[in-house]
Amino acid sequence: MTILLNNDGHWHARWRAAIETHMPGRAVVEFPDITNRASIDYALIWKHPPGDLEKYPNLKAVFSLGSGVDYLDAFPTLPEAPIFRLIDTNMAEDMALYTLYWTIHFQRLFGTYQTQQKQAKWARYPTPLAPDFKVSILGLGAIGSHIAKALARNGFDVSGWARSPKDITGVKCVYGKDALETILPKADVLICCLPFTKATYMSLDLAVLSKMKKGGAFINISRGAVVNEADLLTLLDSGHIGGAALDVFHAEPLPENSPFWSHPDVHVTPHMSGATNPDTAVQIISKEITDFENGIMPPYPYMREATCSREVKA
Ligand code: GLV
């Protein structure tokens, strides 16, 4: 029983330690130091080189070490073995706290107070109570629905949009293309949790984002490729979008010359809103492997039909 490990070459010692703790008895081989391909039965990977997974004759299943699987969409071929996404509620909760932090930042005008402090200016402004502050969430998958519930629990007026009907306690859920038009103009804060697929690529463009309420804020925690960044900048420059907290970008790391770095209304974070935690992730994967060996399918299979036919930059 040998696990192939490749977290895009990062933090392998932490992953190895977690595997040794939570999957005792399994050997770990770190990509690319493989001597016996036939010994590998499970692969734990993130952004693995395309074409490599097909070279393990006894591979039973692949576990992706993150929730977004758009990097797999760019693989020209995939192995026969099933591939599963990682949905870790600890990661979803981290992302919920990230969006709560920025939602409160925009609701309570903390950006204004930061600027005022630099000027030794003492002035305060009325702000809406949480139930009067409207948050709209685009995408109600495992992460988006977790975020929606967390914001609703904290008293915000939360709406959510998805492609298909959803039912989430405390959240006004709408679906379909026309419904998007109804929640954009209401949103004091719009949070993007959309997966990056062929359908969502650059879908948040001038036409869509200009339907937002004037002065509303935008938070993106999914993928930069879902947004037309030039259009977002146009709307930030004109003040139509009053502020943005951006954790993801078309090109990562964000290039030094990106206008987002120095934009006065933009907060840039380096794709850290919900980092995978090796300890909790391996505990989940360990249980899923045990279930899989007993004929029980892990809950989040990767669906090839959601594929993108565009070049992957992230
Ligand atoms: C990170 O971006 C992930 O998709 O898990």
Q: What is the pLDDT of residue 303?
A: 82
Smallest Cα–Cα separation from 223: which of 292, 163, 313? 313
pLDDT at 1: 84
Low-confidence ranges of the chain (pLDDT < 50): 307-314
pLDDT at 74: 87
With CA atoms as reference, report the closest residue to 265 among 231, 248, 242, 232: 242
**271 part of the active site:** yes
Q: Give me the half-sphere count of Cα atoms (radius 13 Å) on the Cβ side of residue 61.
A: 23
Give 66 Cα–ligand 1 centroid separation in angstroms: 5
Kindly state if the Cβ of 216 falls inside 6 Å of ligand 1: no
For 267, the token pair is 């907060």
Beta-carbon contacts of residue 208 (< 8 Å; ≥ 6 apart): 180, 184
- Regarding the beta carbon of 141 and ligand 1, being less than 6 Å apart is answered no
Query: Whose CA is closest to 11, among 210, 204, 282, 220?
Result: 282
User: Where does residue 308 fall: left (phi above 0), alpha (psi -120 to 50 degrees), or beta otherwise?
Assistant: beta
pLDDT (0 to 100) of residue 305: 53
Residue range 32-54, pLDDT digits in tens: 999 999 999 999 999 999 999 99
Domains in the chain and their CATH numbers? Answer: 2-88+276-308 (3.40.50.720), 89-268 (3.40.50.720)
Could you tell me the two tokens for 226?
């879902």
Residue pair 301/83 in contact (Cβ under 8 Å)? The answer is yes
Ligand 1 closest atom vs CA 66: 5
- Residue 83: partners with Cβ closer than 8 Å, 6 or more residues away: 61, 62, 63, 64, 69, 72, 301, 302
What is the pLDDT, as a whole number, of residue 311? 41
The reported pLDDT for the residue numbered 296 is 97
Ligand 1 center to 253 CA (angstroms): 14
pLDDT for the residue 308: 44
Smallest CA separation from ligand 1 atom 5, residue: 66
Q: Which of 10, 45, 47, 67 to mutate to test the pocket of ligand 1 (most atoms within 8 A of CB)?
A: 67
Q: What is the 3-state secondary structure (H, E, C) of the chain?
A: CEEEEEECCCCHHHHHHHHHHHCCCCEEEECCCCCCHHHEEEEEEECCCCCCHHHCCCCCEEEECCCCCHHHHCCCCCCCCCEECCCCHHHHHHHHHHHHHHHHHHHCCHHHHHHHHHCCCCCCCCCCCHHHCEEEEECCCHHHHHHHHHHHHCCCEEEEEECCCCCCCCCEEEECHHHHHHHCCCCCEEEECCCCCCCCCCCECHHHHCCCCCCEEEEECCCHHHECHHHHHHHHHCCCEEEEEECCCCCCCCCCCCHHHHCCCEEECCCCCCCCCHHHHHHHHHHHHHHHHCCCCCCCECCHHHCCCCCCCC
146 is catalytic: no
Answer for the pair 100, 148: CB distance below 8 angstroms, yes or no. Answer: no
Ligand 1 atom having least distance to the Cα of 271: 2
pLDDT in tens, 289-305: 999 999 999 999 998 75
Looking at 108, 271, 304, 310, which residue is catalytic?
Answer: 271
